[in-house]
Structure 1
Amino acid sequence: MGFLQRTFQYLSWLSLDVVVGAMAGMYFFMDLFHVHLQWPAFALLGLAVWSIYTLDHLIDVQTVRTELVPRREFHRKFRKALCGLLILSVLIGLVGAFTWFGWGKELQLTLILALLILGSRVMIRKIGPGWMKEFSIAVFYVVGIVWLPILRAEAIDITRSSLLFLPGYILLAFLNLLMLSFLDRDEDAKSGFFSVASTLPTQKIIQLIRQVAFGLIFLSLAGFIFLPSFYRPFSCVVVLMALVHYVSFFQSGLPVHQKRQRMELAFSIPWLLMLL
């Protein structure tokens, strides 16, 4: 394995590609709602996303005693170091949030949102149907990246047209999670992890992936045609992200880890809006 590929692999194992993609998503909605956010907002979002994903990975490997794939074995091998970094990340995030927000309405609402998301995830994990896990994570992901842009947007900029991109982004995140669930189905079954792919036959999960992908691409192209010209770059970004997912997932001969990397890197495409 070459140096560049190994570097991307470790970045993926550490969920740093997810962090960059989440910050790109915040930039997407910041630009969409005509909001200007300073760098602390992106840093705090990055810390929050990294902490959530790392905690999730550490919980997964804690109870598994069987042999794991390299991606999860990495978290088990460096569990103590990652736990230390996780605690440090949470502390820096809390101090940074209080310093930047102050004990005001934004921070209070954000903490309430975090508690609601945590409670919902616990309930869904225990009683939710198979697909609810992936769909709820997609919703929470998009709520997290759009939360601050929505709070700071002027009422005049929150239009029906701009709000259409919220379900579009949720569908994109849901598509990503469906694809990852399918790619990891054998690994999850061996380790006892729960996912939507473990509750649906192979043909049905593939059919669902195609339906979500084609629906998202069709809706994005419709937005490009029918929405005002201001929204066309945003429609193009969503189309590009959906196409990268579809082509990567269905490309035969491409290793699973490279499919994962390409699909996660697709969420960084919104950074192209900085060039416009």
Structure 2
Amino acid sequence: MQFLFKFYQRITWLSIDVVLGAMAGMLFFARALRVELDWQEYVLLGMAVWCIYTADHLMDAGKLTSAPRQDRHHFHLIYRTPLLMGLCLVGFIGLFWAIQFFGFSGELFFGTGLGVLILAIMLAVRKFGALQVRLKELSSAVFYVIGISWLPWYETPEIDYTWTVFGLTILYMGLAYLNLIMLSSLDTKSDEEAGFVSIATKIPQEKLLTNIRNLSISLILCSLLGLLLVNSFYRIYPGLLVIMLLVHFLCFFKTNLSAEQVRMRMEVAFLIPAILLLI
């Protein structure tokens, strides 16, 4: 059991779980918008997400101000060179593959532009430090959902746009934001030791926990309301969001779990939309 935990821990440190969660999220929006995407589009998204998250972790590791601990930052610091080489290789292959698959089309230019914009925001977040701390998690959540949903939205005829899917997009952003502030709360001690600035290092923990609880309950109630109000075709989507939100809420506020166990369970929650493959 300990071996399986350590194995999955390494998967988490390498952001593989985030990649799979992003691909499941794209499937969520593709099915909600009734768009059929090619498997190559899912793989290209996964490669882009891995590059962005790995670049982010490498930048974090490079900013360590104290002796690193046995965690994700330590892992990226120790294996900085091979991870940087992997980042360059995956980025190059992904860009070449995207050009081959999409051609010089709107999809290519929009996707590339979005990736560049996200990287620019990541750099700006680090440059302005405490001035941006309250917006860091929010902007990350918004761009994460834009990143996994823009292609289904792009390939859907405007006549098929619905307020229901727009509402699902907003709720998914809320879920992503909740995930990030929960993770920030879990990492408060390690972030302070490493000299990182986050929402959890600037807001008192008691107030942050209250905000997390209120946001969780609000999102769960909104998703349940959506479950009741939408027509039968869309009902599964707010249902999946309810399950994902409940996993976050129950794991985060379950006191007998370690921070690492909570983190792993919350990341697994983003794989739940993969159940749509069976429907």
TM-score, normalised with respect to structure 1: 0.96
SS of match in other structure, 2:233: helix
Please state how far the C-alpha of 1:77 moved relative to its aligned partner. Answer: 1.1
Confirm whether residue 262 of structure 1 aligns to residue 265 of structure 2.
yes
Equivalent in the alignment of 1:144: 147
CA contact under 8 A between 1:32 and 1:162: conserved in structure 2? Answer: yes
* Paired letter, 1:216: L
CA contact under 8 A between 1:121 and 1:136: conserved in structure 2? Answer: no
Question: Which structure 2 segments of 5+ residues have no match?
Answer: none
SS of match in other structure, 1:73: helix
In 1, distance between residues paired with 2:214 and 2:240?
A: 19
Equivalent in the alignment of 1:248: 251
In 2, distance between residues paired with 1:191 and 1:65?
A: 5
In 1, distance between residues paired with 2:117 and 2:46?
A: 20
- Kindly report which structure 2 residues correspond to 1:1-80, keeping only aligned pairs within 5 A, or say none: 2-71=2-71, 72-80=73-81
Please state how far the C-alpha of 1:162 moved relative to its aligned partner. Answer: 1.3
Equivalent in the alignment of 1:193: 196
CA contact under 8 A between 1:233 and 1:273: conserved in structure 2? Answer: no
In 2, distance between residues paired with 1:126 and 1:64?
A: 15
* Paired letter, 1:243: L
In 2, distance between residues paired with 1:190 and 1:181?
A: 14
* Paired letter, 2:77: R
Equivalent in the alignment of 1:229: 232
In 2, distance between residues paired with 1:230 and 1:124?
A: 40
* Paired letter, 1:143: I
SS of match in other structure, 2:104: coil
In 1, distance between residues paired with 2:124 and 2:58?
A: 20
Question: Which structure 1 segments of 5+ residues have no match?
Answer: none
Confirm whether residue 91 of structure 1 aligns to residue 87 of structure 2.
no
Cα deviation 1:60-84 (Å, max 9, x = unaligned): 1113252223222111111111111
CA contact under 8 A between 2:141 and 2:174: conserved in structure 1? Answer: yes
In 2, distance between residues paired with 1:120 and 1:74?
A: 24
TM-score, normalised with respect to structure 2: 0.95
CA contact under 8 A between 1:58 and 1:79: conserved in structure 2? Answer: yes
SS of match in other structure, 2:67: coil
- What is the identity percentage for the equivalent residue pairs of Structure 1 and Structure 2? 43
In 1, distance between residues paired with 2:70 and 2:51?
A: 20
In 1, distance between residues paired with 2:191 and 2:125?
A: 18
CA contact under 8 A between 2:52 and 2:119: conserved in structure 1? Answer: no
Please state how far the C-alpha of 1:223 moved relative to its aligned partner. Answer: 0.3
In 2, distance between residues paired with 1:123 and 1:60?
A: 13
In 1, distance between residues paired with 2:49 and 2:113?
A: 17
SS of match in other structure, 1:70: coil
* Paired letter, 2:57: H
CA contact under 8 A between 2:66 and 2:195: conserved in structure 1? Answer: no
Please state how far the C-alpha of 1:206 moved relative to its aligned partner. Answer: 0.4
SS of match in other structure, 2:271: helix
Cα deviation 1:235-256 (Å, max 9, x = unaligned): 1100000000011101111111
